[in-house]
Amino acid sequence: MTGLYEYRQNMLPCFVINNVLNAQDCDNLIADQKDKLEKASHEWQGENFVGGKKDTRDSRVAWFENPSLSNIITSCVDTVNYEAGWRYDIVAHELFQFTEYKKGQHYTWHTDGPGCCHNSARKSSVIHKSDALHYTQQTNLLGTVRKISISAILNDDYKGGELQFRTLSPTGQLEESSVACRRGDVIVFPSYLHHRVKPITKGVRYSIVAWFGGPPFK
């Protein structure tokens, strides 16, 4: 696998793999999913879904399966999981989430896990029909927690929308780092990292996100 490098600014445990998807792959994924989008109207609070607030997340999403893409992204995650020395026990990933951010839209600071446990309470608090399909079909994820998150960048002809991470410096100060990435790149990071998508200032940002889960940490 070429183009793998660790983003070490502020000791950030984030990996970027360049050119995982080619231009045609990206265009096809956008064309396939953009007509299926609906407003993202939920968010995480502790281990439960709560009603989404526009000042927290303002975007549209679509859930989908793609075995070919799954093989590609899983290979990326397996490589990083080993090379980074995380060696997390991973059993499966959730359905892919196609995301669209238009001008002014954003996703504020949040984490994907741990603490995001795939249990019956989580399923019962799902709001959208597409989300219900997303969780109830994936019984192999019941009892697992999110351990590794990915974001695949499908276009770069927009302004703003930077993917940022927040970490503690050695002196205990909060530091924010933007990850430089281009169309076709895949970012892999532990799900516990605080991150956000800054507001779009021009154009539309398309990406794919997914979460890889395994048994709860001990």
Tell me the per-residue pLDDT of 26-56, one tens digit each, with 9 for 90 and over.
999 999 999 999 876 554 444 444 445 567 8
Query: What pTM does this model have?
Result: 0.83
Mean of per-residue pLDDT scores for the chain: 81
If we measure between CA atoms, which residue out of 2, 12, 1 comes closest to residue 180?
A: 12
If we measure between CA atoms, which residue out of 118, 92, 95 comes closest to residue 36?
A: 95
Distances 36 to 27, 98, 130 between C-alpha atoms, Å: 15, 9, 10
| pLDDT tens readout for residues 72-126 | 999 999 999 998 889 999 998 989 999 999 999 999 999 998 655 554 333 322 2
The architecture in CATH of the region 4-214 reads Sandwich (2.60)
Structure tokens at 79: 């490589």
